[in-house]
Amino acid sequence: MSTAETPVTQVEKKQKKKTVQWGDDPKIGFVEALYLPAIAGGIATALKHAFFKKRSTAQYPEQKPEMPPNYRGVHRLNRDEEGRVKCVACYMCQTACPANCIEIIAAPAPQDDPKWANRDKFPATFTIDELRCIYCGMCEEACPVDAIELTSIYDLTGMSRQEMIFDKEKLLSVFDETSKAGLDPVRTNRGALGPASEKSLQSADSPPPPGRGKHG
């Protein structure tokens, strides 16, 4: 209450006083008043659980849980068919990231390397702070070329904060691990790279990728 009380608030206060009501204790019957049957009931429930119910503990390191397909775990950077990083350094994930955990430094693709001939831009560095990340999956949503994905790896641990800052190599190695093991097929599963990363997509005989509309 403020110090300057108007007469109106005082009146209100008086009226309010009567609005507080006691709740009566619940009425109890004879059996309840004896206490002992209720106690016996409690003990019976406890014993029933102790002896007749199935234990629901999962023996974790030996017994791995199965993650639902839409589980969002550690990130990975996908590779294209030629083994290059799929990412084109468009910064969409960094822009979309609500936790500011992605940092990309872009560079022109190496022009003298024939492997990179059909690419203009690529990420020179790609860093994700896995500790800062909130695993919302917005980067995955934002990516126009399906390069960044969240895997089903849930048991991410490390001995230092530095260790939990994943660079491009680490993120690519996550892809190698998960895709080799068949744990995480390309989840977004659009079947092809986006128009920015792949030239063959534009050829007339290849059908347009599903889910992207007819005309990229």
Partner 1 sequence: MNWYEIWTELWPTLIAIGIILAVVPVVGLYATFVERKLAAAVQDRLGPNRVGPFGMFQAIADGIKIFLKEQIIPSHVHTFVYMLAPCISLMTAMFALVVLPYGPTPVNYDGGLRFVVMPGLDISLLIMFAISSLSAYGIILGGWASNNKYSLYGAIRSCAQFISYEIPMGLSVIGVILVAGSMNIETIVASQSSGDGISGWNLWWQPLALVIFFTSALAETNRLPFDLPECEQELVGGFHTEYGGIKFVLFFLAEYTHVVTVSFLTTLLFFGGWHFPGVPSEVTASYGILALQMLVLLVKVCGVVCFIMLLRWALPRFRFDQLMGLAWKGLIPLAMLNLVFLAVIESLEWHRWPLAVLSVVLFVAAGYWSAWQSQSFVRKASVA
Partner 2 sequence: MSTVFVNDIEVEVGPKDNLIQAARAAGVEIPHYCWHEALSVVASCRMCLVEVGEKKPDGTIAMGPKLVPACQTPAKPGTVVKTETAKVKTGQQMTLEFLLLNHPLDCSICDQAGECYLQDYTFKFGKAQSRLNEPKVQRLDKYHIGEQIALFTDRCVMCTRCVRFTREISGTAELQVVARGSVEEIDVFPNKPCNNKLAGNVVDLCPVGALCSKDFLYKKRVWWLKSQKSVCAGCSTGCSIEVDQNEDHVYRLRPRANPLAQGHFMCDEGRFGFKYVQSDNRLKGPTSKSINTVGASVNAVTNGNGSVAGKLFQPADLAVVDHWPAAIQEAREKIKAAVDANASSFAAVFSPMMSVEEAYLLASYLKGLNRNVKLLMGPVPVVGEDDCYPKNVNGSAPTAEKTKFTIRAEKCPNRMGVEKILKHFQGAVVPIEEAIQGTHGIQAWYFVGGYATPDESAGWVTPAIEKATESAKLLIVQDIFPSVLSKRADIVFAGSAFTERDGTFINHRGLAQAFRAATRPPHASRADGRVLNELCQRQGLYNTEVLRKEIASKIPSLESLSVGDLGVHGVELQQLVGAYS
The C-alpha angle with vertex 45 and arms to 42 and 48, in degrees rounded to 5, equals 150
What does the block give as tokens for 68?
A: 């639902």
CB atoms closer than 10 angstroms to residue 201: 17
Is residue 97 a contact point for partner 2 (CB under 8 A)? no
**Identified binder of partner 2 from the candidate list 67, 84, 91, 179, rule CB under 8 A:** 91
Closest to partner 1 by CB, 18 vs 180, is 18
Q: Please work out the total of residues on this chain that contact partner 2, with binding judged by CB under 8 A.
A: 25
Closest CA to 75 of 158, 160, 145, 173: 173
Q: Could you give the CA distance from residue 79 to residue 76 in angstroms, rounded to a whole number? A: 10
Give strand ranges (E) for 137-191: 148-150, 165-166
Closest to partner 1 by CB, 46 vs 124, is 46
Closest to partner 1 by CB, 39 vs 117, is 39
Q: Could you give the CA distance from residue 191 to residue 133 in angstroms, rounded to a whole number? A: 27
Q: Could you give the CA distance from residue 134 to residue 151 in angstroms, rounded to a whole number? A: 14
**Identified binder of partner 2 from the candidate list 67, 106, 164, 186, rule CB under 8 A:** 106
**Identified binder of partner 2 from the candidate list 81, 111, 163, 183, rule CB under 8 A:** 111
Q: Could you give the CA distance from residue 80 to residue 130 in angstroms, rounded to a whole number? A: 23
Q: Which segment (35-43, 87-95, 103-111, 117-125) binds partner 1 by CB under 8 A?
A: 35-43
Closest to partner 2 by CB, 12 vs 120, is 120
Distance of CA 155 to the CA centre of its chain: 13
Is residue 207 a contact point for partner 2 (CB under 8 A)? no
> Smallest distance, Å, CB 7 to partner 1?
22
Q: What is the DSSP string of 118-145?
A: T-SEEEEEEEEETTT-----HHHHH-TT
Is residue 215 a contact point for partner 1 (CB under 8 A)? no
> Smallest distance, Å, CB 54 to partner 2?
52
Q: Which partner from the list partner 2, partner 1, none does 91 bind, CB cut-off 5 to 8 Å by kind?
A: partner 2
Binding residues vs partner 1 (CB under 8 A): 17-18, 20-22, 24-25, 27-34, 36, 39, 42-43, 45-47, 49-51, 53-57, 59
